[in-house]
Amino acid sequence: MTRRFGACLATLALLLAIQAPLIEAQSLQTGPAPVVESIEFEGLETLAEDTVLYYLGLEEGVRLDSAELDRNIKRLWDRELIDDIEVESEPIGEDRVRLIVRIEERPVIRSLEFQGLKKLARTAIEERMDEERIDLREGLPLGRGDLQRLQSELETMYREKGFRFARVRYELEEVSPGERRIVFRVDEGDKVKIEDVEFEGNTVFSDYRLKWALRKTRPTGPISRILKRDVYNP
């Protein structure tokens, strides 16, 4: 019997789908729960075996409580120390089992770097990260979702400055088995300038009056270029 809990199992529906076979198996069990004969670990790099045993509530020589193990797996996942966990149970004789715990640890952020920044200050990025609660800080566990959120936020910040074709990608570089360096590489591209502004359907106000009202949206020209009003900003 195998229990697996990873990033793809974060939704309630999938959790229920995993729990259902376990509940059914327990209902069919007629005798006492098996005794844990031994516990083996695979994939541990920085976490100690005793630490994982503590969180999972497992102990050799004690009967296996499947329901409690499932709850403890969820608690360990909530601590953001791991990216995936699988607990496999192998029968040994009639009432004993060997447990194999496979863990993919969540690495810690060693550093966060940006390459290619010219029109965007790092302080502005850090302020936006605080506003959006993107937790990518040195010394914290690496959240994959935060990587994608920051990538999207950086492209949004460039669009706000008129760089409609800016592209951002990130890479994870291994510093040590449990540490990663995050590098965001930015291709800013060019600003999109306004060639012309046209109006259709206006009968009350003239084109000239409407263009005058668009004080910060002007076709490119010597004055609008100096005032930076010819940059397309939706």
Q: What is the mean pLDDT of residues 99-120?
A: 93
**Measured distance between the N- and C-terminal CA atoms of the chain, rounded to whole angstroms:** 55
Q: Could you tell me if 53 and 113 are in contact, meaning their C-beta atoms sit under 8 angstroms apart?
A: no
Rounded percentage of the chain residues whose pLDDT exceeds 70 = 79
Confidence of residue 88 (pLDDT cuts 50, 70, 90): very high
Higher pLDDT residue, 213 or 102?
102
pLDDT in tens, 164-185: 888 999 999 999 888 999 999 9
Look at 27-31, 70-74, 118-122, 171-175 and tell me which has the smallest mean pLDDT. Answer: 27-31
Q: What is the mean pLDDT of residues 62-89?
A: 91
